[in-house]
């Protein structure tokens, strides 16, 4: 009888682990298993047993992928090697987004440039359809010669954008002050390569040189360590205090990370909406006066 009781308890424990793995923590790195091509299928290819992917843009079309699952909180990582050479007018995007007019979204967008000029790394966050929180950076490395890890870490306390483990931006949750925060909608992960030469490079002054086409961006090791959205019940489930990303360790940056981010922000920020007083007619968004890291 004791052995039977132990077997039943073990079976229950295994079931609970399986449930938590299904709904809380997913670590995968195979594009066949985790994503599908949502447009430009003839311009995208998966190779290396599903671990690597190429997105292509030419004059006829670009291409893109999206994750099969939606997520609410966790870390979503992708290694990306951007379009090399004259990439003016192209945009390689990597972001999280929900559906609908009042969607949530967290963005990395990489704005191409003429040969010899640096990429611009564009970030933004939307909550219930409202964005206008752009920050832009120059990279401190050449993003076209090798893969770099771009991570969106998102939990009930804050959103952090990381590059190769270095935090570049934080957006904290001040919902209790009436500032919208993306925490009630599941979001899929997306990546795409597309023609944005009406605005991407010097406000559209530098157009795509189609003589350089096709353009390609390479993706590697998509890894969502995140809570899987399974409906409205996910809001309380993914917010629960027993999740790794809700622990105090992840509620704010540590001192070393704050030092890293200060270095990035002192040297590489080229636009911050919180410093654009003319844009907002001196009526700055409320979060701009609050501590962000």
Catalytic residue chosen out of the listed positions 66, 109, 158, 287: 109
Residue 43 phi/psi, 5-degree rounding, is -115, 15
175 is catalytic: no
Task: List the beta strands (DSSP E) in the chain.
Answer: 35-39, 44-47, 52-57, 63-67, 71-81, 90-97, 105-111, 120-126, 135-137, 148-154, 158-163, 166-172, 188-195, 215-228, 269-272
287 is catalytic: no
Q: Which of 159, 185, 195, 164 is nearest to 174 (CA)?
A: 159
| Structural contact between residues 158 and 245, judged by C-beta atoms closer than 8 angstroms | no
- In terms of Cβ atoms closer than 10 Å to its own Cβ (0-12, 13-18, 19+), residue 83 is buried
Beta bridge partners of 267: none
Q: Which of 63, 14, 31 is nearest to 220 (CA)?
A: 31
Catalytic residue chosen out of the listed positions 105, 128, 175, 255: 105
CA distance 39 to 43: 9
Taking the CA atoms of residue 266, residue 131, residue 190 and residue 97 in that order, the dihedral angle to the nearest 10 degrees is: 130
Active site residues: 105, 109
């Amino acid at each position: 009888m004791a052995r039977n009781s132990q077997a039943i308890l073990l079976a229950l424990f295994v079931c609970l682990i399986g449930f938590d793995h299904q709904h809380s923590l997913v670590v995968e790195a195979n594009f066949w298993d985790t994503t599908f091509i949502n447009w430009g299928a003839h311009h995208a290819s998966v190779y290396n047993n599903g671990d690597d992917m190429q997105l292509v843009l030419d004059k006829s079309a670009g291409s893109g992928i999206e994750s099969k699952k939606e997520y609410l909180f966790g870390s979503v990582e992708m290694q990306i090697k951007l379009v090399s050479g004259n990439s003016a007018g192209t945009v390689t995007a990597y972001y999280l987004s929900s559906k609908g007019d009042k969607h949530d979204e967290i963005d990395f967008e990489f704005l191409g440039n003429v040969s010899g000029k640096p990429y611009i790394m564009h970030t933004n966050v939307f909550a219930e359809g409202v964005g206008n929180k752009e920050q832009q950076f120059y990279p401190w490395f050449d993003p076209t010669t090798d893969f770099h890890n771009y991570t969106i870490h998102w939990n009930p306390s804050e959103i952090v954008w990381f590059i190769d483990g270095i935090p570049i931006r934080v957006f904290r949750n001040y919902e209790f002050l009436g500032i919208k925060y993306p925490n009630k909608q599941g979001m899929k992960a997306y990546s795409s390569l597309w023609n944005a030469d009406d605005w991407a490079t010097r406000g559209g002054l530098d157009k795509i040189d189609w003589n350089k086409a096709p353009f390609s961006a390479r993706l590697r090791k998509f890894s969502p360590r995140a809570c899987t959205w399974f409906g409205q019940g996910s809001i309380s489930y993914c917010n629960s205090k027993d999740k790794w990303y809700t622990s105090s360790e992840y509620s704010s940056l540590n001192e070393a990370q704050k030092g890293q981010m200060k270095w990035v922000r002192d040297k590489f920020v080229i636009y911050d909406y919180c410093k654009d007083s003319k844009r907002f007619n001196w009526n700055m968004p409320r979060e701009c006066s609050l501590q962000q890291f």
